[in-house]
Chains A and B, each alone.
Chain A
Amino acid sequence: MAMRDLVMGGAACAVPGSDGASSSANPMGGLADSLLGGASKTQERLRELPGLAGPGQSADFGGRPRTSLPGTEFENEFDQRASANNSQFLRGFGRIDEGGFSDAWGDAVSGRMMPPVVQHDRQQEEAFRNFESLYPGLEARGRSPLPLDAPPQRVLAGFFRSFLDSSQADAPFNAIPLPELGLSEADKRRIRDRSSIMARHFFADRGEEFVNARVNALLHSLDIDNSLRFREPMGGRHPELEGYWNEAIGGRPGGGRLPDTWAEDFHKHYKGPEPGGWAQEFQAQHSTDSWVDQFGEHQQQMATRGQYRNGEVSNLAALEQTRSLVDTLAQNQDPKFQNSKFLQFVSKMSRGELIVEDNQVKPGVTNDWVNEYQERHLPPGEQWAAEFTAGEHQHRGDTWADEFARRNQEAPSTSDDWVNDFSRLHVQDWADEYAEQIAKNPYGDGSHESWLDSYDRFVGEQTADMQGRTESSKFMYVFADQNPYVGHPNPLKEGQELFRRGLLSEAVLALEAELLKNPDNSEGWRLLGITHAENDDDKQAIASMVRARDADPTNLEVLLALGVGHTNELEQAEALRYLAGWLQNHPRYSKLVPQDVSTLSHSEVIQMVNEAAMVAPEDGDVHTVLGVLYNLSREYDRAIQSFQRALELKPRDYSLWNKLGATQANSARSEDAIYAYQQALDLKPNYVRAWSNMGIGYANQGKYEESIRYYVRALAMNPKADNVWDYLKISLSSCAARWDLLDACERRDLEPLQTQYPLPSVSVTQQRCSCTHCSMGYTQH
């Protein structure tokens, strides 16, 4: 359920409006007591645990008495501690809600959404809902609906994410005013300490001031008092250095000395100067003066910072600090950062596309943010946004300098001090770095544009389907690690021959060898794509075809194959694009198609292909395309008709028979499908895809035994067809009592399966082929 202190109100703070689950009347306490009993009972429980010796038997643990551990402390205090410890032990359970630990566990496992425990008023719920509906990307990032993930926490999660992202991309950290979250004091302390420490890890080279500003902004937004921050590492570091210093001077133990046998072993090998020598070097590196100086300055800096901190950073000031980094957001070229959905969200916020009003996240007035910017009337609390708007229009590379100067005027002594401290402390000079960045990427140049572009692209992707860019990143061709055909004098010819003989997996390797040699060989890629498709590997097939298209963008077979491949992957927009491209590039039909095919709807494309079919009713390919298009819109009857028509024109095209079969199977005509697959297999006995499709056809009819035979046959030809192993597993578990074979399946051991389910005999006919898919003009198909 919700965080413990949100629920239980922590040690000192009850959540307003919490539904009575306060710590005093905690039913969980009672439950835990009854389950675990008192202190003594818990002790027994511990003793019973398998593999673990209880306190009374500790001497047996691991065959060694614990006292064999050298340097042990506290041994005789053990008994007194036990009961005190026990209450803490119980506390671990008490933190889970009334349902009890086991329930919570069960819920967590089953993934059931539990009602939010923290009660908040209607308005806030509304705000969360808006937040989510406006920014579905947050959900899409894979945040699963967890019982612990009540709405307020999702807001928190997003908020922290923005904080973290801001470290990486120089993103602005927009400290949005958050709804009342009911954080307990303990939680606030936790957030304060942890965010401070973590911020130092990822903001390290920006300097302390930067870290403080970020953390201040975070804490202020969460309404956390930041005057009691966790110690900073610098504060601890200097006394530590002092220790080294003394050790180096006095040669006291602990630093320079290497005591004991183990260390003496090392000592023998120790070729360098005498112990303490390193300390001298250390001294040389950090001479007395510099260290003292640094320490003094550090103290001064601490004092200054204290002043700054106690001077109460107003919300506005914190946000101003944030705002000054908005510009740099545009400068990070890393696509990872540019693709970060939260960064895009933050950017939306900063540009006013989303505004926070009465604790609700709302869309800006128009989509055109520039207009919206100039026209939007801001609520008083959102003054920072107005400031940013004003700044946006005059921002140049010197913005930072301006702002720096401004702040200088506001608090001259403070700024001077910390700037001086910084440069003398040899902390990496972030001002320089910043200036450098600005110089490299003057504001408003291409990099900024590119970020905006990528943002637009993101928006485009949200509404439209996948674009080419995502396609190419999704389908990357993966070459085999070990390829015996590398170095072969003519791998293309070998590949074609292997393909002809139906040795598809071997053909893949030979063709890959060719393509490693000649990466722009369109024909090689095309044949590789076909081979993969027949070998039942759609992903690689599409990847190959994409490369073939890159090499030759007008190849009709490639376009058709890509259309089919994407149809198989249920990617409608992509499929449509390629099928329209096929039409556009076809010499006979191109005049039927407008210049720009990218915007055509499904029905428009179908209409055009139908027109083409009227123009050239004897062209089987047109009917094939039509069949694929109808598959896309799940009009299976029409698709079947189209494929049947195409088959009348090209009865020896085994891939058409396979398409027909797949369509029939999809429309629950599995018996017809089996016939079609059989036709395909008669034409091409090594057609792995048809074998596995046949198996699916039988499985669909509940004939699992039959289906297993076909899967096994397909796997015998291509053991790498991962999805077929899966189908096989399903059939094996469906036809009961074959757990032994399931085991073989898990091991990918085909032998027992082959013995148990011998290959079905088929009539194999070898004829010449007239289909367009076979580059060789032979058939095997």
Chain B
Amino acid sequence: MTGLDWQRRLTEILAFSIGFLKNKVFKTAFNGYAVRFSPFVENRLAVATAQNFGIIGNGRQYVLELTPNGIVDVVGFDTADGLYDCTWSEDNENILVSASGDGSLKVWDVAAPPMANPIRSLEEHTHEVYSVDWNGIRKDCFLSGSWDDTIRLWTVDMPRSLRVFAEHTYCVYSAVWNPRHADIFASASGDCTLRIWDIREPRSTLVIPGHEYEILSCDWNKYQETVLVTGSVDKSLKVWDVRNPRQEVTRLLGHTYAVRRAKFSPHRENFIGSCSYDMTVCVWDYRAPEDALLFRYDHHTEFAVGLDMSTLVDGLLASTAWDESVFVWQQGMDPRA
């Protein structure tokens, strides 16, 4: 090999590695829909994606890792329909569940060879599954929320759901376990209500007609077991206390399009992250006396629909959007830096 060839080859390698290092961004093949940090491995995250904005086409479940060379994909599982959400098992660090547009839930084992995956395909929902959430207390079960208006309760060892919660009258966009009570969860729906459920009860225990428009997301405060946040098509977030459900605790305004996802910080009691069809990701302090909006991140160029906050690293955020990118950054820093 001549000196010139070496030079060229070296230049290529350098350009490649520097490119990764400089960009704390991962490009997905399809449009990003959801991102979740692993509860076990601090530099690992799962990303659910769908082709053609999730309207038609295939899906791919990614498992990504943060390395000094930037974000790299460890595994990619292809699916026949788009994937809208995903969640890690709280019990086994290699197990992952994706919510699919064809109504199925795909259970993956990251450690198993591709041929063996998905290790389960749970097919009961009659429409798109839009939300999955693993129980962080019991660790043996998870919830799925679907456009067939129902929420289903599953364990991986059962091919059928254990229970169907069918009270919502329109699409369920989000169903999330309470972080303190193993049997309590909340659900957000296009019927404009937020419902609180206790799986020991036959019916929902509380119905909050939370917004005038569809509610796309909800999440529990990780420190105050009775506090929730909802994000709605009405562009606002509302914080609720179930002890006083008549009136929201506060309303957070600042997004200019529908709020797609809202999440309470695992580390800061009063911090809420949100992402929106206005393409931005925002971090709020809902108890701030003056301006609740702490940060607005403008790094996505299409609808921002996936957001997560690491439970293992304080202030580490991840977002994904229909611009086919996944960003991981530290709160307060520029995601693009």
Interface positions of A (Cβ within 8 A of B): 3-4, 35, 45-46, 49-55, 57-58, 61-62, 64, 66, 69-75, 77-78, 81-82, 85, 88-89, 92, 95-96, 101-102, 104-106, 108-109, 142-144, 146, 148-149, 153, 156-157, 160-161, 164, 167-168, 183, 187, 190-191, 193-195, 197-198, 200-202, 204-205, 231, 233, 236-237, 239-240, 243-244, 253-255, 257-260, 262-263, 266-267, 269-273, 277-278, 281-282, 336, 339-340, 478, 665-666, 668, 670, 696, 699-702, 722-723, 725-727, 729-730, 746, 748
Q: Tell whether A236 pairs with B169 under 8 Å between CB atoms, given A282-B209, A729-B17.
A: yes
Cβ of B156 within 8 Å of any chain A Cβ, yes or no, is yes
Selected from B55, B91, B209, B216, the residue in CB contact (under 8 A) with A62 is: B91
Q: Are B53 and A270 in contact (CB under 8 A)?
A: no
Q: A466–B188 Cα gap in the complex (Å)?
A: 47
Whole-angstrom distance between the Cβ of A153 and the nearest chain B Cβ: 6
Partner of A50, one of B18, B112, B141: B112
**Inter-chain contact A101/B244, CB cutoff 8 Å:** no
B residues near A72, Cβ cutoff 8 Å: 153, 162-163
Partner of B160 from the list A74, A254, A699 (CB cut-off 8 Å) is A74
* Cα A197 to Cα B94 with chains together (Å): 33
Which of chain B's residues have a CB closer than 8 A to the CB of A4? 58, 80-81
* Contact flag A272-B109 (CB < 8 Å), given A201-B214, A233-B170: no
Name the contact of B14 in the complex, choosing from A69, A205, A266, A723 (C-beta under 8 A).
A723
Ranked 10 nearest A-B pairs via Cβ: A278-B246, A668-B3, A236-B170, A62-B140, A236-B169, A58-B157, A95-B80, A51-B92, A4-B80, A204-B233
> Which of chain A's residues have a CB closer than 8 A to the CB of B10?
696, 699-700, 730
**13 A–B contacts, CB within 8 A, in A order:** A3-B58, A46-B120, A52-B95, A66-B155, A71-B202, A73-B162, A73-B163, A160-B52, A191-B56, A244-B209, A262-B181, A271-B243, A666-B7
User: In chain A, what residue has the closest Cβ to B302?
Assistant: A164
- Are B116 and A49 in contact (CB-based, < 8 A)? yes
Chain A residues with CB under 8 Å of B323's CB are 142
A143 nearest CB across to chain B (Å): 7
Q: Tell me which residues across on chain A come within 8 A of B245, comparing CB atoms.
A: 278
Residues of B within 8 A of A (CB): 2-4, 6-7, 10, 13-14, 17-18, 21-22, 27, 29, 51-58, 60, 68, 76-81, 91-92, 94-95, 101, 104, 106, 109, 111-112, 114-116, 118-121, 123, 127-128, 138-141, 147, 149, 153, 155-164, 167, 169-171, 181, 183-184, 190-193, 198-207, 209, 213-214, 216, 226, 233-235, 242-246, 257-258, 260, 277, 279, 298, 301-303, 322-325, 334, 337
* Residues of chain A lying within 8 A (CB to CB) of residue B128: 193-194
In the assembled complex, the CB of A698 is this many whole angstroms from the nearest CB of chain B, namely 12
B329 CB to closest chain A CB, in angstroms?
A: 13
Among A109, A262, A699, A726, point to the contact of B198 (Cβ < 8 A): A262
Across the interface, do B53 and A160 meet the contact criterion of CB distance under 8 Å? Answer: yes
Question: Which residues of the other chain, A, contact B303 by a CB distance below 8 angstroms?
Answer: 164, 202
Which residues from A are CB-within-8-Å of B111? 50
Q: Contact at A201–B258, with CB atoms within 8 Å?
A: yes
A108-B76, A160-B52 known; A202-B246 Cβ under 8 A: no
Our pick among A35, A92, A702, A746 for the contact of B118 (Cβ within 8 Å) is: A92
CA A87 – CA B211 in complex, angstroms?
42
Given contacts A148-B58, A191-B56, A46 and B119 within 8 Å (CB-CB): yes
B155–A85 CB distance below 8 A: no
A197 touches B243 (CB 8 A): no
**Structural contact, A69 and B193, CB atoms closer than 8 A:** no
* A470 vs chain B, min Cβ distance (A): 15
Q: How far is the CA of A49 from the CA of B53 in the complex (A)?
A: 33
Most buried by A among B169, B258, B279: B169
Q: Which of A46, A52, A670 contacts B92 (CB 8 A)?
A: A52
Question: Max chain A CB contacts within 10 Å: which of B52, B115, B242?
Answer: B52
Q: Per a CB cutoff under 8 Å, which of A153, A254, A281, A701 touches B3?
A: A701
**How far does the Cβ of A632 sit from chain B's closest Cβ, in whole Å?**
16
* Complex: A249 Cα to B301 Cα, angstroms: 48
- Complex CA gap A58/B156 in Å reads 9
Give the chain A neighbours of B60 by CB distance below 8 A.
108
Nearest A-chain residue to B155, judged by Cβ: A66
Contact B140–A722 (Cβ < 8 Å): no
Residues of A within 8 A of B141 (CB): 69
- Whole-angstrom distance from the CB of A750 to the nearest CB of chain B? 14
For B80, B91, B120, B171, the residue with the greatest tally of chain A CB atoms inside 10 Å of its CB is B80
Question: Quick check: A148 and B21 within 8 Å, CB to CB?
Answer: no
Bound form: Cα–Cα A106–B109 in Å: 17
Instruction: Determine whether the beta carbon of B159 is less than 8 Å from that of A153.
Output: no
A51–B95 CB distance below 8 A:
yes
Q: Which of B14, B157, B192 contacts A55 (CB 8 A)?
A: B157
- A255 to chain B: which residues have CB within 8 Å? 207
Cross-chain pair count, CB within 8 angstroms: 311
* B244 contacts A272, C-beta separation under 8 Å: yes
- B162 contacts A263, C-beta separation under 8 Å: no
Residue of A nearest to B278 (CB): A168
Given A69-B199, A201-B277, A726-B18, CB of A266 within 8 Å of CB of B226:
yes
Partner of B258, one of A96, A146, A202: A202
Chain B residues, CB < 8 A from A45:
116
Among residues of B, the one whose C-beta sits closest to the C-beta of A232 is B170
Instruction: Report the separation of the CA atoms of residues A259 and B277 in the bound assembly, to the nearest whole angstrom.
Output: 37
CB contacts (< 8 Å) of B234 on chain A: these are 204
User: B183 to chain A: which residues have CB within 8 Å?
Assistant: 70, 262
Q: Given A146-B29, A259-B201, A702-B6, A194 and B55 touching (CB < 8 A)?
A: yes
Chain A residues closer than 8 Å to B277, beta-carbon distance? 167-168, 201-202
CA–CA, A703 to B91, complex, Å?
A: 50
Say how far B293's CB is from chain A's closest CB, in angstroms: 18
How many Å from the CB of A59 to the closest CB on chain B?
9
Contact B56 A187 (CB under 8 A): yes
- A253-B106 Cα distance, complex, nearest whole Å: 36
Shortest Cβ distance from residue B106 to the other chain A in the assembled complex, whole angstroms: 8
Which among B169, B201, B325, B334 is the interface contact of A240 at CB below 8 angstroms?
Answer: B169
Q: How far is the CA of A75 from the CA of B235 in the complex (A)?
A: 42
When the two chains form their complex, are residues A61 and B155 in contact, meaning their CB atoms are under 8 A apart? yes
With a cutoff of 8 Å between Cβ atoms, the chain B residues found around residue A266 in the complex are: 226, 242-243
Contact A55 to B114, CB < 8 A, known contacts A194-B56, A236-B169, A262-B198: no
- Closest Cβ of chain B to A772, distance in Å, is 30
Given A270-B244, A272-B244, A729-B17, does the pair A55, B159 have CB atoms closer than 8 Å?
Answer: yes
Q: Which residue of A lies closest to B192 (CB)?
A: A237
Which residues in A have their C-beta under 8 angstroms from that of B14? 723, 726-727, 730
Closest-CB distance, A31 to chain B (whole angstroms): 11
Question: Beyond A52-B156, A62-B139, is A71–B170 a contact (Cβ under 8 Å)?
Answer: no
Chain B nearest CB, measured from A203 CB (Å): 9
Q: Which residue of B lies closest to A7 (CB)?
A: B80
**Chain B neighbourhood of A272, CB < 8 A:** 244, 246
Q: How far is the CA of A92 from the CA of B191 in the complex (A)?
A: 31
Task: List, in ascending order, chain A residues with CB within 8 A of B77's CB.
Answer: 105
Q: Is the pair B80, A96 in contact by a Cβ cutoff of 8 Å?
A: yes
Determine if A700 and B243 form an interchain contact, defined as CB atoms under 8 angstroms apart: no
Pair B190/A66 contact, Cβ less than 8 Å: no
Cβ-defined partner of B162 (8 Å) among A66, A101, A104, A702: A66
CB distance from A631 to the nearest CB of B (A): 14
Contact yes or no, B200 A74, CB < 8 A: no
Choice from A61, A157, A240 contacting B193 with Cβ under 8 Å = A240
Whether B80 lies near A89 (C-beta < 8 A) is no
A89-B120, A157-B52 given; 9 more Cβ-contact pairs under 8 Å: A46-B120, A71-B163, A89-B121, A96-B78, A104-B78, A240-B193, A262-B183, A266-B226, A730-B17
Residues of B within 8 A of A78 (CB): 158-160
Expressed in whole angstroms, the Cα–Cα distance for A148 and B30 within the complex equals 10
* A263: contacting residue among B95, B104, B198, CB under 8 A: B198
Looking across the interface, which residue of chain B has its beta carbon closest to that of A731? B10
Contacts of A267 in B (CB 8 A): 243
Residues of A close to B244: CB separation below 8 A: 270-272
